[in-house]
Amino acid sequence: MDWENPLRSIAATVDADVLKALAGAQEPVTGNQLAHLAGRSYAQVYAVAGRLVDDGMVRCVRYGRTKTYRLNRDHVLSPIIDRMLAAPARIESEIRQAGLAWQPAAATIAFAGPAARRLVAPGGAVDILIVRADAVHERDPAWRTQVAELTRRVEEMSGNPVQLIETDRMGLRTAIHDDQPGSGSLAQGVRTLVGEDPRRVIASAGDRERRIGEGTL
């Protein structure tokens, strides 16, 4: 799936970008404004908008020599467009609901890298950061089942492979400090879905490490 514009997954053309731009516009837009929002040339947008007007998907109003366009919210297909554009948010919501029910619980479940910014390309990997709580062993059968099921579900829902970054609190702090594999995705941004913000996890791991060194833990 194309996470930046899921409509491209079924219409990899100017149509997808025009429809996304119109769906996000709060007011009618001119052809030049629509071209800017869609990131396409005026000629491309003008042709697509005209066809969408003929199909009834888009309303066009003329003011002198200027035309304005808006998505026809009364069209039966309009809710489907909105639902498709909301696909990344729906995946996040399902992960959040599943993760909140985990036993044993995770310290953090988050998207990292392009997924955190909803910019995963078609066929691109979805980077998921999962941080184990201190009391959870990585080989715990219940834990492994949860992680495997979440991975499978995200791959099924999106069509994108999952790149799992699984660690504990101390491992997360070390990975970022030593620039280990996977830490690059974390540096590109993180969207926390369940549990603590990774920055707080890193801080708490550092505090635990200090207390171990002082013999107070």
Token digits of residue 132: 């184990």
| Residue 217: per-residue pLDDT | 44
pLDDT tens, position by position, 134-192: 889 999 999 999 999 999 999 999 999 999 999 988 888 776 654 444 555 665 678 99
- Residue 113, classified by CB atoms within 10 Å of its CB into exposed (0-12), middle (13-18) or buried (19+), is buried
Burial of 54 (0-12, 13-18, 19+ CB in 10 A): exposed
Count of alpha carbons within 13 Å of 1, Cβ hemisphere only?
24
Count the Cβ atoms, other than its own, within 10 Å of residue 79: 10
Spatial distance between the Cα atoms of 148 and 70, rounded to a whole number of angstroms:
43
Domains of the chain: 6-83 (1.10.10.10), 86-214 (3.30.460)
Q: Is the pTM of this model over 0.75?
A: yes
Q: Are 142 and 106 in contact (CB under 8 A)?
A: no
pLDDT digit string, tens, across residues 18-69:
999 999 999 999 999 999 999 999 999 999 999 999 999 999 999 888 999 9
Mean per-residue pLDDT over the chain, rounded: 87
